[in-house]
Amino acid sequence: MVLAGTLLYSVVLHELAHGWAALLFGDPTARDRGRLSFKPWRHLDPIGTVLLFVAGFGWARPVPVVFGYLRPRRLGLLVVSAAGVVVNIIVAFLSLLLYQHLQPTHGSPAAVALLSLAQVNVALASFNLIPVPPLDGARLLSAFASTRVQRLLGWVEPFGFLLVLALLYTRVLDPVIGAIRSGILTVIALLLP
């Protein structure tokens, strides 16, 4: 239950970060639709939420972003795409920093909660950095890519969710996710005192 709760709020923070970044770069869509809220039910996807509690894996409804509103466009795309992942990494870092500072007894509720929060956020950041649409990694790639590559990513996006599920099921992405996770943990370790 701790895992599902931390995952739920971590996913909500991830989506909120996208919405706030979009607003900062000129897109009021998430704000106008009431999605810049810390209330979890505004972000819940019925299937993704059930899976959070049943399988320990799930998702929230993506915060709506109209990329045409973003100014400057490429920088806006880059920041909006990175915002959710950056928030997940910050939450993981702060959880480990607090764990290190408080030094809770191993196995205590505080220790379990802080370590769970860190693990969930590192996992979310790692997963979302996979460069397959509709994940953030594909949007980050798009911010640097040529128009031709952007079109290709746009063409793949309607099928992206099924593609991601197939790649996860076949475990093809395990080495990629592992490498991204190692990189994130290295950065966090360097930042910890």
Q: In this model, does residue 23 exceed pLDDT 90? A: yes
Do 153 and 55 touch, CB atoms closer than 8 A? no
- Residue 157 falls in the annotated catalytic set: no
CA distance 50 to 57: 9
What residues does 60 pair with on adjacent strands?
A: 44
Q: In this model, does residue 141 exceed pLDDT 80? A: yes
The pLDDT of residue 1 is 62
The pLDDT of residue 5 is 76
38 alpha carbon, distance to own chain's centre: 16
Do 159 and 132 touch, CB atoms closer than 8 A? no
Catalytic residue among 6, 15, 52, 77: 15
Q: Which residue has the tokens 């080495």?
A: 175
Q: In this model, does residue 153 exceed pLDDT 70? A: yes
Domain ranges within the chain, ordered by starting residue: 2-191
* pTM of the model as a whole: 0.92
The pLDDT of residue 179 is 96
